[in-house]
Amino acid sequence: MATMKTNPFTLDFGREPYEMIPRPLLMKDLIQSFMSDQPSKHISIVTGVRGSGKTVFMTSVCKHFQNEKDWVVVELNPDRDLLQNLAAKLSGESTLKEIFHAAKINLSAFGLGLQIDGAEPERDIEVALTKMLSSLKKHHKRVLIAIDEVSSTPSMKVFASAFQIFLRNELPLFLLMTGLYENIRVLQDQKTLTFLYRAPRIALTPLNIGRMTESYARIFDLTPESALDMARKTKGYSFAFQVLGYFTWEYRNDPSRIHQEYKQYLQEYVYEKIWQKLSAEDQRVLYGIASTPGGSVSSIREFLQMSSNRFTPYRTRLIRKGIINGDVYGVIRFELPLFEDYVLENYMPD
């Protein structure tokens, strides 16, 4: 085993772990598109099931841009007034205060502390932000806004509408959001926010099994075969990679305890929340999938007594939620490790 003294894996959601599997191609494509001289997109939405690594991916992107000259990175809390929060974060940047002061942008009416003698206080937050972003544009600066776990809240709707106006005015603003599929879908369904439908979506797929194998082999001094077997137990699920690694480190000489803790932790901290968000019919469909060896679509429909037309919408929605995989024609498999066990243990027929 490697000579690390502390557990390199984490059980915390969202925190960038010491041991992680990067997504270099996704990172490269996103960064290059935002940094282009004439960007073709200013918005990117990262979706994926809970625990798929959305927050960690966003954090990695933000860290990159924080090291880029003339880029300003602002992380906003989705539960607060987003426009007010954006103005506060920008005006609080010491390197930007001189720019706003020279542009005579008085934000004292919003309680943000940027008071300019002789300048009339701004009264409208959108007007104030337009002036702030225009002044940043003159100094060749770009602003990346990052919002984690968005949903269709009143504040988010107001912010998205204002962002659309900022883009029409060709202001140097970029937006990176993460969210569950269903939350992003509700937000995009707003009549006034149809521009979000055109926003590129990055659906986080399973991590590279080969990279996971290398990581486990190095940390636990395993043979390639044993490390591959360990990696396959995660099905490439980002959070499972951390959880299995964490408990293997803690109970390395007790395989039974590792499996027990691994299964219980996934169920209690991830699967229970996913399950509770599903409709009764979604749960029944998943029970049919879990109860059908081999995952044949025709066998699943027969078990559920569902026609193809009735079954297909559920199949599509569950794939988009990241719960099942339909890449192989005519076959459905669970995307999450040991989730079929949870379904069989917790489904309660009417």
Give which of 76, 64, 202, 79 is closest to 129, Cα–Cα: 76
Would you say residue 10 lies in a domain?
no
C-alpha torsion sign, points 188, 192, 194, 195: negative
Alpha carbon distance 103, 74 (integer Å): 21
Q: Are residues 136 and 185 in the same domain?
A: yes
Please identify, among 242, 275, 308, the residue that sits at the C-terminal boundary of a domain.
275
Q: Are residues 179 and 62 in the same domain?
A: yes
Would you say residue 1 lies in a domain?
no
215 CB-contact burial (10 Å; exposed 0-12 / middle 13-18 / buried 19+): buried
Alpha carbon distance 301, 315 (integer Å): 11
- 305: domain range? 278-346
Which domain CATH number covers 302?
1.10.10.10
Q: Are residues 55 and 141 in the same domain?
A: yes
Would you say residue 189 lies in a domain?
yes
Would you say residue 31 lies in a domain?
no
Question: Which mean pLDDT values do the consecutive 10-residue runs of the chain (350 residues) have?
Answer: 77 83 92 92 93 94 95 95 93 87 83 66 90 95 96 91 93 95 84 76 93 97 97 97 97 96 97 96 97 96 96 95 94 97 92
Q: Are residues 261 and 176 in the same domain?
A: no
| Tally of structural domains, the chain | 3
Would you say residue 2 lies in a domain?
no
Q: Are residues 177 and 290 in the same domain?
A: no
Specify the amino acid at residue 77.
N
Q: Are residues 256 and 282 in the same domain?
A: no
Q: Are residues 175 and 262 in the same domain?
A: no
For the chain, the residue count is 350
Q: Are residues 80 and 133 in the same domain?
A: yes
Which domain CATH number covers 137?
3.40.50.300
> Do the bridges between strand 201-203 and strand 173-179 make them parallel or antiparallel, or are there none, so unpaired?
unpaired
Sheet containing 142-147: order of strands: 71-76, 142-147, 173-179, 43-47, 201-203
Would you say residue 39 lies in a domain?
no
pLDDT value of residue 187 = 84
Would you say residue 9 lies in a domain?
no
Q: Are residues 166 and 102 in the same domain?
A: yes
Please work out, in degrees rounded to the nearest 5, the angle formed at the alpha carbon of residue 134 by the alpha carbons of 130 and 139: 150
Cα torsion 90, 92, 96, 98 to 10°: value is: 130
Please identify, among 222, 248, 275, the residue that sits at the C-terminal boundary of a domain.
275
pLDDT value of residue 314 = 97
Would you say residue 28 lies in a domain?
no
pLDDT value of residue 284 = 97
pLDDT value of residue 113 = 64
Q: Are residues 235 and 176 in the same domain?
A: no
Please identify, among 275, 295, 326, the residue that sits at the C-terminal boundary of a domain.
275
DSSP string across 122-173: P--HHHHHHHHHHHHHHTT-EEEEEESS----HHHHHHHHHHHHHHHTT-SE
pLDDT value of residue 155 = 92
Alpha carbon distance 85, 102 (integer Å): 22
